[in-house]
Amino acid sequence: MEHPCLLPAFRRAAGLLVTVLCLALLAAMPREAQAGASEWVQVEGGEVRIVAARPLSDGTIPAILDIRLKPGWKTYWREPGASGIPPQVTVNPLSGIIFTGLLFPAPKTFDDGVVHYTGYDRSVALPMQLQQLKPGSAVDLKASVFLGICKDICIPVQAELAVSLPAGAAGNPLEQARIDDAKAALPGAPAADFKVTETIVDTAAKTLQIRFMVPDGTQDVPEIFLAGPAGFSFGKPLVKVASGGGFTADIPYRSSKKGGNLTGRTAVLVLRAGPRSIETSLAFE
């Protein structure tokens, strides 16, 4: 007959043994069977990895560049401003995967009293645009990542990341949820109550005026972010209420080439109003 005083200790030991065996089995599983994620690469101020899900039937690979920041650290948007390093990804061509760019949630503006720049002061996930050359094949993604993580100084981060998924591998619901959340955080399309209504380029003064409307009830001052075209940079927008309704933003710009003209070029604009944001392409006439 078992002594009653020994039963709790026996149960605890048995439970611990089951936990250890489960962890051992998980560790013994192939990396591809466990997850569609690279290992975290740790750096001062944060860490970075790639998370990928099972490819879609057309060869599209749902994936994100996952950037985890420590408190007080920042990283940059696609157009960082006067200083900073935008995230850059290079996919190994032998992967059989085409990479066409990163997608970004609406950033914030930071001002250190000397220059202003745009980015994120909390962990962020950037959806990656990836396409298999041979849909249905295994995923063997190898990518080089370069970005800046900053606090008092900016630290360049260089990481080599790899993700492997065998053909027909089952999806990981936790990773798919992380990817879905990143996509849901992206700016939406312009709407009837939230859009750019006019752009005016003053080539003599080197200024751009953007007129726009935001949803009724917006409490915060709207923010505008511009990226591109190549060779042009934009200063801090001066946003004010327009006399006929809506808002205007006056934005100085510079060209890296003497006599560079903004007319006839395009840029990406992100407009944030409270919790909502939109992204659109602007053609300057």
Per-residue pLDDT tens digits for 176-192: 899 999 999 999 999 99
Residue 75 in any domain: the answer is yes
The token pair that represents 158 in the structure block: 């260089």
CATH of the domain at 217: 2.60.40.10
Give the number of domains in the chain: 2
Regarding whether 130 and 54 lie in a shared domain, the answer is yes
The token pair that represents 132 in the structure block: 């298999």
Q: Provide the residue type at 254 as one letter.
A: R
Tell me which DSSP letter residue 28 carries. H
Q: Are the beta carbons of 48 and 160 closer than 8 angstroms?
A: no
The token pair that represents 235 in the structure block: 């200063």
What's the confidence (pLDDT) of residue 21?
45
Name the pTM for this structure: 0.84
59 pLDDT above the threshold of 80: yes
Q: How many CB atoms lie within 10 A of CB 96?
A: 17
Regarding whether 180 and 47 lie in a shared domain, the answer is yes
Tally of CA atoms within 13 A in the half-sphere of 93 that contains its CB:
0
Tell me which DSSP letter residue 4 carries. G
118 pLDDT above the threshold of 80: yes
Beta-carbon contacts of 243 under 8 Å, excluding residues fewer than 6 positions away, are none
End position of a domain, from candidates 184, 216, 233: 184
243 pLDDT above the threshold of 90: no
Q: For residues 248-259, give the mean pLDDT.
A: 86
Please name every residue paired with 118 in a beta bridge, in sequence order, or none if there are none: 109
Quick: pLDDT tens for 191-239: 999 999 999 999 889 999 999 999 988 888 899 999 988 889 898 899 9
Q: Provide the residue type at 284 as one letter.
A: F
Regarding whether 225 and 269 lie in a shared domain, the answer is yes
* Bigger pLDDT: 141 vs 171: 141
At 81, is the pLDDT very low, low, confident or very high (cuts 50, 70, 90)? confident
At 36, is the pLDDT very low, low, confident or very high (cuts 50, 70, 90)? confident
Regarding whether 228 and 151 lie in a shared domain, the answer is no
Regarding whether 199 and 145 lie in a shared domain, the answer is no
At 259, is the pLDDT very low, low, confident or very high (cuts 50, 70, 90)? low
Instruction: Give dist(CA 13, CA 19) in Å, integer.
Output: 10
Percentage of residues of the chain with pLDDT beyond 70: 86
What's the confidence (pLDDT) of residue 134?
92
Instruction: Give dist(CA 123, CA 121) in Å, integer.
Output: 7
Regarding whether 213 and 98 lie in a shared domain, the answer is no
Q: Provide the residue type at 3 as one letter.
A: H
Q: Are the beta carbons of 216 and 193 closer than 8 angstroms?
A: yes
Range of the domain at 96: 34-184
End position of a domain, from candidates 157, 184, 211: 184
At 27, is the pLDDT very low, low, confident or very high (cuts 50, 70, 90)? very low
What's the confidence (pLDDT) of residue 230?
86
